[in-house]
Structure 1
């Protein structure tokens, strides 16, 4: 998992035609990505491009798991906050899908 300290990252996904499409940009300190490693065993589904000047903090999975074993309250707080962010992202994606469908009818 990565935490954005400063700068900007772009999250992209390969479309059916092979072109890369931008899903979102993260630019606020504290934005994070790579969190799906905690909940999904499938390979990564997106590509992240970081601005060369961006500064990121990496949290290796095994180090986080070890830390969480000893710090249950912190673990719960982080997971709860991550869940809130994931819910917000899912809502935004659902709105985009609904807008796309309604624009095609």
Structure 2
């Protein structure tokens, strides 16, 4: 727990909600090593992204209508591949949304 009362994983889950809002996602309990651990899968324009979600953070996805699926296919990406996809996606997002605001101007 950090000084603001939020765990690092909860902060990550809050940020992942933004990706879910843009690209959709699914929650699955299909990890054979940790069958009780929720996995969030997001199919982004750069490829599949996935993260473990702690049970106490599942409430963050309720309002986003993330479906629960029994089994979801993992594409086999490594953490390195995932974060290369995230980096490429973050460069692409500004072109997919709205113009960047001019900060400091009323």
TM-score bracket, shorter-length normalisation: 0.3 to 0.5
Higher-RCO chain (CA-CA 8 Å, sequence separation at least 6): 1
**Greater fraction strand:** 1
TM-score (norm 1): 0.33
